[in-house]
């Protein structure tokens, strides 16, 4: 055989060797009557098991009438379970319609399907999702119950309004500075009672700095003379116009926040109560967790509502204020059975270390990249423990002495998440044993470690008092 003939034979053998195989061969079928949907902004591609009709893949539009046709086709095809990817917000309406018609809907992270082999196109994607779901290879994403989803929507809208109101305050401060009105140097917050009174008087035409200074509340630390001096500037017409618009927007957002609070309170009144707390009084609030001067706090007894819904008072944990507890509950709910352990819960929030290894060596250190409002709220709560005279405050300062600030805050947020998990799952009150108890416990632990290390080297630790005798 010639050399070229040998090469041709080798090529044919190589092609035979790399023939593709079915990676799902031998896997048990867990979801026989399932469908896969590739969600898009304008159209959805749907795949059902082969043999259920003349077409196993169909394309539907995103209008409501198209979704009705999609659901009808799935029900006529005997589909019981549907899987789709969490693509932006385009899946929300489809999810609701499928759920309303009694279909079991599984929403999965696109990251999980990309890590598995398969081709990428709209038709092939929905077929691939249907195939993976048939063999139970997709992990469903977390979805809270309906009542907590409603609460979450209200809370996210409230957060957007508070952010917008804060931007208006920043723009008003900028405008005052451009007019060389240094009001922010004598007032800590221009959106407070004194600041708003002065701004409204200025926009109504008052220019006398001493008359404006008289509008300050008696609790303002700066003297009236200092306030008057800060109000001497050049009142430009275009900048006053901008100041007026930003103040009007701030008032509008403040009103919308109040409207949102009323909806939140009305919804909290309809949520299921824990029977074990019926008639039981709340413990006194922790002083360090109270924030009476914080802007845009709810104007109703939110702490009592959360206690009735969860059966525990999460604000007894140092650093966890009532708004932090509300954000966490609105994002994750009060049912901790979705996570087997507290470590699983903290890992889902992206607060636990994620150190992948290969060949016995750690190739990367850090936490998972997770965007979660609950995790952000817990990080802010952990940061507030810097000066707390409590066991958790002492623990955070020890973390801070060993690692840089971002890692210490994440490590402390991990501890707070685990405490909340325990309280929500097992009930009971949180008891702070104090900073002294924690310090003593840490010293005893450190002493045991030193004794163990000394014993390994053939030495023995002896207290100084024993040596002096």
Residue 239, domain CATH:
1.10.287
Q: How confident is the model at residue 261 (pLDDT cuts 50, 70, 90)?
A: very high
More confident residue, 184 or 275: 184
Mean pLDDT across 396-420: 91
Domain membership flag for residue 284: no
Rounded CA-CA distance 322/433 in Å is 21
Q: Are residues 416 and 455 in the same domain?
A: no
Q: Report which DSSP code applies to 140.
A: B
The three-class DSSP label of residue 35 is strand
Classify residue 6: in a domain, yes or no.
Answer: no
pLDDT bracket for residue 379 (50, 70, 90): very high
Place of tokens 């799935």: 74
Q: Is the model's pLDDT at 360 over the cut of 80? A: no
Among 223, 253, 270, the domain boundary falls at 270
- Quick one: pLDDT at residue 124? 84
- pLDDT score for 289: 58
Cβ atoms 42, 62 nearer than 8 A: yes
Tell me the DSSP string of 349-417. TT-SB---EETTEE---SB-----HHHHHHHHHHHGGGG--SHHHHHHHHHHHHS-HHHHHHHHHHHHH
DSSP 426-445: H--------HHHHHHHHHHH
Judge if 307 and 369 occupy the same domain. yes
Q: What confidence tens digit (pLDDT) does each residue in 191-248 have?
A: 889 999 999 999 999 999 999 999 998 888 888 999 999 999 889 999 999 999 999 9
Has residue 44 been placed in a domain? yes
Handedness of CA 329, 332, 335, 341 (dihedral sign): negative
The Cα-based distances of 391 to 183, 198, 434, 436 in angstroms read 40, 44, 5, 8
Q: Is residue 288 part of a domain?
A: no
pLDDT in tens, 71-117: 999 999 999 999 998 888 889 999 999 999 999 999 998 877 775 55
Domains held by the chain: number? 4
Residue 27 domain flag:
no
b/e per residue, 163-192, with b = 16+ CB within 10 A?
A: eebeebbebbbebbeebebbbbebbeebbb
pLDDT number for residue 286:
63
Residue 391 covered by a domain: yes
Let me know: does 158 contact 253? Beta carbons within 8 Å: no
CB 392 within 8 A of CB 415: yes
Q: Specify whether 156 is located in the same domain as 261.
A: yes
Please say which residue of 77, 106, 134 terminates a domain: 134
Whole-number pLDDT of residue 1:
47
Do 240 and 317 have their domain in common?
A: no
Judgement on whether residues 218 and 241 belong to the same structural domain of the protein: yes
Q: Tens of pLDDT along 109-120? A: 887 777 555 566
Do 236 and 186 have their domain in common? Answer: yes
Per-residue pLDDT at 344 exceeds 60:
yes
Q: How confident is the model at residue 469 (pLDDT cuts 50, 70, 90)?
A: low
Q: Where in the sequence is the domain holding 386, given as residue range(s)? A: 299-355+363-432
- Locate 253 and state its tokens: 């957002």
Whether 291 is covered by a domain: the verdict is: no
CATH number of the structural domain spanning residue 95: 3.30.420.40
Residues 425 and 450 in one domain: no
321, 343: one domain:
yes
Pairwise CA distance, residues 36 & 48, whole Å = 7
In-domain check, residue 94: yes
Average pLDDT over residues 353-361: 75
pLDDT, averaged across the chain: 85
The verdict on 266 and 153 lying in the same domain is yes
Residue 172 sits in the same domain as residue 113:
no
Based on the fold, state whether residues 219 and 322 are members of the same structural domain: no
Residues 182, 230, single domain; the answer is: yes
- Rounded alpha-carbon distances, angstroms, from residue 73 to 23, 37, 43, 98: 29, 13, 16, 12
- What is the sign, positive or negative, of the torsion defined by CA atoms of 67, 72, 73, 77? positive
Last residue within a domain, chosen from 134, 169, 191: 134
Reported pTM: 0.81
């Amino acid at each position: 055989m010639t050399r070229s003939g040998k090469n041709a034979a080798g090529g044919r053998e190589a092609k035979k060797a790399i023939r593709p195989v079915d990676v799902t061969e031998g896997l048990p079928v867990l979801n026989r009557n399932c469908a896969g949907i590739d969600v898009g902004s304008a159209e959805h591609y749907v795949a059902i098991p082969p043999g259920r009709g003349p077409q196993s893949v169909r394309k539907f539009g995103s209008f409501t009438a198209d979704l009705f046709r999609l659901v009808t086709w799935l029900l006529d095809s005997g589909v019981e379970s549907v899987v789709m990817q969490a693509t932006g917000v385009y899946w929300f309406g489809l999810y609701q319609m499928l759920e309303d018609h009694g279909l079991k809907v599984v929403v999965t992270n696109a990251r999980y399907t990309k890590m598995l082999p398969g081709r990428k196109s709209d038709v092939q994607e929905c077929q691939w999702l249907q195939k993976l779901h048939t063999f139970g290879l997709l992990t469903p994403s977390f979805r809270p119950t309906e009542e907590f989803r409603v609460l979450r929507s209200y809370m996210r809208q409230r957060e957007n309004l508070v952010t917008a109101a804060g931007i208006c305050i920043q723009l008003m401060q900028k405008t005052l500075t451009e007019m060389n009105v240094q009001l922010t140097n004598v007032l800590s917050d221009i959106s407070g009672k004194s600041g708003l009174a002065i701004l409204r008087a200025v926009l109504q035409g008052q220019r006398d700095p001493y008359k404006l200074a008289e509008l300050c509340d008696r609790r303002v630390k700066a003297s009236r003379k200092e306030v008057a001096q800060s109000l001497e500037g050049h009142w430009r017409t275009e900048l006053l116009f901008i100041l007026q618009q930003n103040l009007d927007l701030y008032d509008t957002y403040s009103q919308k926040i109040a409207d949102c609070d009323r909806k939140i309170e009305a919804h909290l009144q309809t949520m299921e109560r824990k029977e074990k707390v019926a008639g039981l009084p709340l413990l006194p609030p922790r002083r360090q967790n109270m924030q009476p001067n914080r802007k845009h706090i709810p104007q109703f007894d939110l702490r009592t509502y959360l206690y009735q819904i969860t059966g525990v008072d999460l604000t007894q944990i140092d650093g966890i204020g009532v708004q932090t507890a509300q954000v966490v509950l609105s994002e994750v709910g009060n049912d901790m059975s979705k996570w087997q352990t507290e470590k699983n819960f903290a890992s889902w929030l992206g607060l636990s270390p994620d150190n992948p290894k290969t060949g016995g060596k750690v190739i990367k250190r850090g936490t998972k990249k997770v965007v979660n409002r609950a995790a952000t709220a817990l990080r802010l709560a952990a940061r507030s423990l810097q000066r707390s005279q409590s066991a958790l405050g002492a623990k955070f300062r020890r973390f801070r002495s060993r690692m840089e600030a971002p890692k210490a805050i994440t490590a402390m947020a991990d501890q707070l998440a685990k405490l909340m998990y325990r309280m929500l799952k097992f009930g009971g009150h949180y008891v702070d044993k104090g900073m002294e108890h924690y310090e003593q416990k840490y010293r005893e632990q450190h002493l045991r470690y030193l004794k163990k290390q000394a014993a390994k080297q053939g030495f023995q630790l002896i207290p100084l008092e024993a040596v002096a005798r």
